[in-house]
Structure 1
Amino acid sequence: MESRAPNNGRVALVTGGSRGIGLGIAAWLIVEGWQVVIADVDRRRGAIVAQELGDNAWFVALDVSSEPHVALAVAEVLGQFGRLDALINNAGIADPINGPLEELTLAHWNRVLAVNLTGAMLLAKHCAAYLRSHHGSIINVSSSRAHQSEPHTEAYSATKGGLLALTHAMAVSLGPEIRVNAVSPGWIDSRDPSARRDEPLGETDHAQHPAGRVGEVEDIASAVAWLLSPDSEFVTGQEFVIDGGMTRKMIYAE
């Protein structure tokens, strides 16, 4: 991933693209020659990241939970580049713990749904016409938590499960011009490089995975890149769980 391919003319919009998995996806697509629009609510970090990624990166401020913001951001992208080929719905409130259900406030519940689930619907709604023109793709970033849970994760888990249902619903509604798929990461060490260096994960963290290690952002980014490529043109409405095998592992107290 050291060399950058020439711009291939295709434009991808990555929400939540200034850090973590979103940043990993943006960086990978840029290496493959995509023009990438990094959309994020964090204006300062987003602008810095886009500058660091080079000429094939462009930043737009976006609160995915606000339809007026979504409409304006999409209009800015089209005004700047004149086309859109891929939408990666990655933005989300990442902390899965909401506390005991009895203490879960409606405000917190609604906020998590608005960002993690409604945001994906709003982006798809406003991008669909432009994606259709170029037989584009939508990738929704869900989570292995759509299938298994820790205690006190109702809001987050509900949104990730909802994204899977939204994925197959949109695949049927928007096909055949637009393909829609989902990736569901497991434990991905998506911290900044400095944090990974200063506080490396332990051997136990890695060894518990059937694959032998905790995931990296590149594991997700490479899968997204394949789903956006012509090699996957017969794939739509599907979920790809990328978790090192953890959701297939029986875990019992001994």
Structure 2
Amino acid sequence: MAVMDADRLNPVILITGATSGFGHGCARTLAGCAQGGLILVDSDETSLCAAADELGARGPVPERVSTLAFDAADEARWAEAERFIKGQYGRLDWAIVNAPALQPSAGDLVEWGQPRHLEGVYHSLRAVMRLMQDNSAGGAIIVSATAGELKSDAKTSLMQLLRAAAKEGAHDNIRVNALLTAGGADTPRWSELPWFRDLVRSCGDPQAALERIGQLPEPVARYAGADDIRRLIAMLLSDDSHMTGAALVVDGGYTL
């Protein structure tokens, strides 16, 4: 299924966590169809500029690419970002919201039952959905690379946030879904694990290490790569998709 649909010829796309991991991969994938504009959000301004320059070097990019450097958990900065996007682009069609590593937290809950460790996701969703309300349509995807590691309270918080956002957005034809990856997916977090770094040294390179892991008795003897995740994102963003409030676990059966 193509990312761009016939009835959305010039989408404006926003991606948080755009300088690394799946956020950066999504920026590369979606740049070619973001004819209306591409907005990259991350906390590191230098990395954002480098990511935007890389997009330009790789091939066709939108005429307008904006980089917004701020902490996604900063509500005031999101208010500024909304004003900027309305003034420069007039609307927002799609958003990829990359969640940080989720750990249980005893923080206070706010409007959508969101504890402190999900503040960035919460404020990101609130902002992008307000912008999409002007179109009476839109699509947002939460990407979390911790599916196999979520403890029950952290996972419950994420699911509660997802369902509340999807329910609220449905009135304006805004679809909100989530992709949970880990275990059977090759996520950037693998490189942070000491045992995986040891395996890379033993096997010679990261791909060989993943192939070695894929030979273990998993339901699917192949680790999902970034391209697999990006194809699912394209499907969920498509106007043909009727899914909302869904959390797709992409791990090759690792958590079964």
Give me the TM-score of the superposition, normalised by structure 1.
Answer: 0.74
Match for 2:211: what amino acid?
A: E
User: Contact 2:145–2:187 at 8 Å: present in 1 too?
Assistant: no
How high is the sequence identity, in percent, across the aligned residues?
31
Displacement of 1:235: 1.1
Instruction: Measure the CA separation in 1 of the matches of 2:131 and 2:66.
Output: 18
- Aligned twin of 2:234: 225
**Could you list the per-position Cα deviations for residues 208-228 of structure 1 after superposition, in whole angstroms to 9, with x for gaps in the alignment?**
343322221222121111111
Q: Which amino acid aligns with 2:77?
A: H
Within a 5 Å distance, the mapping from 1:98-113 to structure 2 comes to none
Counterpart for residue 70 of structure 2: 62
Contact conserved, 1:184 with 1:239, CA < 8 A, in 2? Answer: yes
| Cα distance in 2 for residues equivalent to 1:158 and 1:202 | 30
- For the aligned residues, what is the CA RMSD? 3.1
Give how far 1:106 is off: 7.2
Change over 3 Å in CA distance of 1:203–1:158 after alignment to 2: same
SS in 2 for 1:231: coil
> What's the secondary structure of 1:39's corresponding residue?
strand
For each residue in 1:158-198, what CA deviation from the matched residue of structure 2 results, as whole angstroms up to 9, or x when unmatched? Answer: 44442222111111122132111111112443449xx9995
Measure, in 1, the Cα distance between the counterparts of 2:220 and 2:33: 26
CA contact (8 A) 2:12 2:34 kept: no
Is the 8 Å Cα contact of residues 38 and 58 (structure 1) preserved in structure 2?
yes
C-alpha distance in 1, partners of 2:153/2:105?
A: 15
Specify the alignment match of 2:165 in structure 1.
170
Instruction: Count how many residue pairs are aligned between Structure 1 and Structure 2.
Output: 220
2:224 to 202, 215, 218: 215
Identify the residue that residue 30 of structure 1 maps to in structure 2. Answer: 31
Residues 51-82 of structure 1, C-alpha deviation per residue, up to 9 Å, x if partnerless?
A: 21124243111201111122222322222212
- 1: distance between equivalents of 2:234 and 2:98? 14
Q: Which runs of 5+ in 2 are unaligned?
A: 1-7, 108-114, 190-196
Which residue identity does 1:77 align to in structure 2?
Answer: I
Letter in 2 for 1:53: L
The CA distance in 1 between the partners of 2:153 and 2:98, in whole Å, is 16
Task: Write the letter of the residue equivalent to 2:250.
Answer: I
Please state if 1:204 is matched with 2:199.
no
Deviates more, 1:210-219 or 1:44-53: 210-219
2:84 aligns to what? 76
Gaps of 5+ in 1: 1-6, 99-103, 108-112, 249-254
Q: Aligned equivalents of 1:236 and 1:202: distance in 2?
A: 32
